[in-house]
């Protein structure tokens, strides 16, 4: 198997200092592959990029309506959040709302992402809890459905638990693919993760975006989750994060969601387009630039990535003093592919 092409360059001064290889699939909701680079048939773990799809079960189970969940909570169910106070307190209040507390979360605890939030805990002599976990919103979502359906909350992260079976079936429907005989693993937050290729993964986001080929109930649920994400982008990631800034800049025209190990997915409803990409070495700086480059070539979105938002495509490399020393940018090969296949 040949190596994936270089899609992202990292410069310092007048020289390319580092390169990142990767692959991308851009798929229309009817299944047509609009653009691809690299091996889009190779199975990858989608990691947290599929949280918007996993959140659909919150609507379909009836839990969102039963507990009167807000857009803020639904967006948090899709989040890989910073662990800022607004994220943590929203999770804790949500758990109380469904009759549980933080002890019910099986995602484990880790420190907040930002130094200032870490320092606030240290200065208050407080240990990080499970609510600080960047996946705690997703887990609160699982527990909401578990509570509403009368299922056992213990072991809700196990592959054999009914809630995880519902999520797996949902993903198969959206991607129009069987996940019965694919590689399996355990995600960072403890839930099962199944291998899937970039092309069907992109299709799942295209159908999530437009509702094409979905049941009326699933189409309604997908739109509900999409609306929550564009209404509450701060809950999807947080202060200074690429996902939050991109969704804010798009003003409802698309959603994006990052995943660990260089995975990124996006959905553009008006175009009926889904995007799935992966950076081979797992670098987030490269996956963010990669997604920005793809979105900026889609008809009707070019203006989003200009001016103050240009750094969503060309990410500055800063030195310790905060001065620009280089840039993370799309490679010439990537730009040529996108210009030839996506520009109107």
Q: Quote the CA–CA distance of 140 and 128 in Å, as a whole number.
A: 17
Question: Range of 87's domain?
Answer: 6-341
Instruction: Answer whether residue 85 shows pLDDT above 60.
Output: yes
Give the mean pLDDT of 222-244.
98
Find the CATH number of the domain harbouring 51.
Answer: 3.40.710
Our measurement of the distance from residue 122's CA atom to the centroid of its chain's CA atoms, rounded to an integer in Å, reads 29
pTM: 0.96
> What average pLDDT does the segment 3-18 reach?
96
Residue 258 has pLDDT above 60, yes or no: yes
186 occurs within a structural domain: yes
Residue 1 lies in a domain: no
**Structural tokens at position 190:** 């403890």
What is the radius of gyration, based on Cα positions, of the chain?
19
Read off φ and ψ for residue 255, nearest 5 degrees: -125, 155
pLDDT at site 80: 98
CA 119 to chain centre: 27
Tell me, yes or no, whether 103 lies in a domain: yes
The pLDDT tens digits of the residues spanning 291-330 come to 999 999 998 999 999 998 999 999 999 999 999 999 999 9
Closest CA relative to residue 263, chosen from 284, 244, 238, 247: 284
Q: Is residue 303 part of a domain?
A: yes
Q: Which DSSP letter does residue 155 get?
A: T
At 19, list the tokens: 């390169």
- pLDDT, the chain, mean: 96
């Amino acid at each position: 198997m040949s190596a994936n092409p270089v899609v992202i360059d990292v410069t310092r001064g007048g020289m390319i200092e580092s390169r990142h290889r990767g692959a991308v699939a851009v798929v229309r909701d009817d299944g047509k592959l609009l653009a691809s680079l690299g091996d889009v048939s190779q199975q990858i773990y989608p990691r947290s990029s599929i949280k918007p799809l996993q959140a659909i079960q919150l609507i379909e189970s009836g839990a969102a309506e039963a507990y009167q969940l807000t857009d803020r909570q639904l967006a948090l169910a899709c989040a890989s959040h910073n662990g800022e106070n607004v994220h943590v307190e929203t999770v804790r209040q949500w758990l109380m709302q469904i009759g549980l507390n933080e002890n019910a979360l099986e995602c484990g605890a880790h420190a907040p992402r930002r130094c200032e939030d870490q320092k606030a805990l240290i200065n208050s002599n407080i240990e990080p809890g499970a609510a600080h976990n960047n996946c705690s919103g997703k887990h609160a979502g699982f527990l909401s459905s578990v509570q509403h359906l009368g299922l056992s909350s213990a072991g809700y992260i196990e592959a054999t638990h009914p809630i995880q079976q519902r999520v797996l079936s949902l993903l198969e429907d959206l991607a129009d693919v069987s996940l019965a005989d694919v590689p399996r693993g355990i995600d960072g937050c403890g839930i099962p993760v199944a291998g899937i290729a970039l092309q069907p993964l992109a299709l799942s986001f295209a159908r999530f975006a437009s509702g094409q080929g979905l049941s009326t109930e699933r189409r309604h649920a997908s739109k509900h989750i999409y609306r929550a994400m564009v209404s509450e982008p701060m809950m999807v990631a947080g202060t200074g994060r690429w996902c939050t800034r991109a969704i804010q800049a798009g003003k409802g025209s698309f959603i994006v969601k990052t995943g660990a190990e260089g995975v990124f997915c996006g959905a553009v409803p008006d175009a009926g387009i889904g995007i799935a990409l992966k950076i081979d070495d797992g670098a987030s700086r490269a996956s963010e630039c990669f997604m920005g480059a793809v979105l900026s070539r889609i008809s009707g979105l070019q203006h989003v990535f200009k001016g103050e938002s240009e750094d969503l495509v060309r990410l500055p490399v800063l030195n310790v003093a905060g001065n620009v020393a280089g840039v993370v940018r799309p490679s010439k090969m990537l730009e040529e592919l996108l210009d030839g296949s996506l520009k109107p």
